[in-house]
Amino acid sequence: MKNKWFKIVLGSMAAALLALSLWGCSAKTKPQAEEEKVLNVYGAFGGVKEIIEEFEKDTGIKINYVSMSSGEAYSRISAERNNPSADVWLGGGIDAFIKAKEEGLLQPYQSPNAKEINPKFVDKDHYWTGVNLVTIGLIVNTKRLENKGLPEPKTWDDLIKPEYKGELIASNPTISGTAYFTIAGILQMKGEQEGWKYLDKFYQQTPFLTKTGSGPGDVVTSGEYCLGVVPDPHNVSVEKSGAPVKGVYLDKVLWWPSPVAMIKGCKHPKNAQKFVDWVLSKKGQEFIAKVCPRVPVRDDITPPEFVPNPKQLHFIDMDFLYWSKKRDEILAEWSKRYQALVTK
C-alpha cells in the first residue's frame, strides 16, 4: 500500500513538472510567435512604400523600413554585426553588397525563385540576388539635337565624335556610384588600356560634371545640352515627358543588379526568407516592375511598355568583384587625369 501511494505521489509530481515545462515552453514561444510577424529592412529602393504594403497584405508580416544610402547601410550593418537590428538589406550599390559579403555581414540564402533568374544577376554563393537592374544609357534632348543638325548617337564610340564636343554631360565618380560603375563598365568593355584612352576622349567632350547620377538628365531636360549619361534612361523619358527628351540605350548596355540580401545573425530569418522569396516571385516581380520601373531580372516578366525587356538589351559581362576591389585604384587614376573637371 505504501509503495502504491509513493507511486501515485511520484506520478502526480511528474505530471505537474511536465505541465510546468509545457507551460514554460508555451510562454517562451509566444513572444517568438509575435516576432514572426515583424521584419526589419534597411535599404534604398524605389516604390518601397507600395512594395511594403503589398507584402504585408500578402503575408501579414509587418515591415519596419529604414531608408539610407548603400554606404550608410553597410556602415550600420557592420557596426551592428554582433547584434543586428535589421533582417534584410534591399537595394543599393552592388559594391557595398560585395564588401559586406567579404566581411561576413551577410547570410547566404538560395531562394527557390532564384532558379528563374539569369545566373549573371545572382551571387554564385547566394549571398545576394538581383531584384532588378540599374542600366546606363543616355537622355537625349531631341529639339537641341535637331537645332544643331546632329544625329542621335547609337554607340559608345559615337559619343567621342568631334560633333558632340561640349554637348555631353556626365557625373562625378568620386561622389556618384552610378558614375563609378559607368567608368568600370567602359574599362570592362574596352579593356583597361584602351578604356583609359577612350575615357580621355570622353571627358574632352564634357564641359563639367554633376554631383549626382541624375544630374545630367536635369541639364539636358532644361535644354542646355544635347546628351546626358544617366541611370535607367527609360524612366527619365517618362518623368520628363513634358520636355523634348527621350531615353536611348547604346549598342552595349552597362548595368548592375539592385540586390536583396539577408543579414547574418538576423532575428527573423524565416520572415527574411519569405521576403526574399516574395520579391523574386513572379507576382512580386510584376508588382515591383510597376512601382519601380527598371529592367527586370526575370525573362517571364512583362514590364511596363516603356521599360525594355532584358532580351532586348545587349548587356556587357561585368566582373563586379574585380571592379569593387579596384575602386580606390580606379578613382585615384581618374582624379589624376580629370580632376580639373570637378572644379569647373
The CATH code of the domain that includes 280 is 3.40.190.10
| Residue 343: partners with Cβ closer than 8 Å, 6 or more residues away | none
Residue-averaged pLDDT of the chain = 88
User: Do 328 and 196 share a structural domain?
Assistant: yes
Cα 336 to Cα 90, 170, 175, 331: the distances in Å are 34, 18, 16, 8
- Encode 46-64: b = buried (16+ Cβ within 10 Å), e = exposed: bbbeebbebbeeebebebe
pLDDT, tens digit, 9 for 90 and up, residues 197-251: 999 999 999 999 998 888 999 999 999 999 999 999 998 766 666 889 999 999 9
Q: What is the pLDDT of residue 333?
A: 96
Q: Which three cell numbers stand for residue 213?
A: 547620377
Eight-class DSSP state of 165 = T
User: Do 240 and 143 share a structural domain?
Assistant: yes
User: Do 153 and 215 share a structural domain?
Assistant: yes
User: Do 226 and 249 share a structural domain?
Assistant: yes
Cα 162 to Cα 123, 167, 201, 202: the distances in Å are 40, 10, 10, 10
List the domain range (segments joined by +) for residue 250: 134-254+323-342
pLDDT tens for the chain, 344 residues long, are 444 443 433 444 444 443 434 334 443 434 444 557 899 999 888 899 999 999 999 999 999 999 988 788 999 999 999 999 999 999 988 888 998 999 999 999 999 999 999 898 999 999 999 999 999 999 999 999 999 999 999 999 999 999 999 999 999 998 887 889 899 999 999 999 999 999 999 999 999 999 888 899 999 999 999 999 999 999 876 666 688 999 999 999 999 999 999 999 999 999 999 999 999 999 999 999 999 999 999 988 888 888 888 888 999 999 988 998 898 899 999 999 998 887 55
User: Do 236 and 328 share a structural domain?
Assistant: yes
The verdict on residue 8 lying in a domain is no
Please choose, from the candidates 227, 114, 91, 96, the residue with its C-alpha nearest in 3D space to the C-alpha of residue 167.
Answer: 227
Return left, alpha or beta for 66; rule: phi > 0 is left, psi -120 to 50 is alpha, else beta: beta
Q: How many domains does the chain have?
A: 2
Amino acid at 111: S
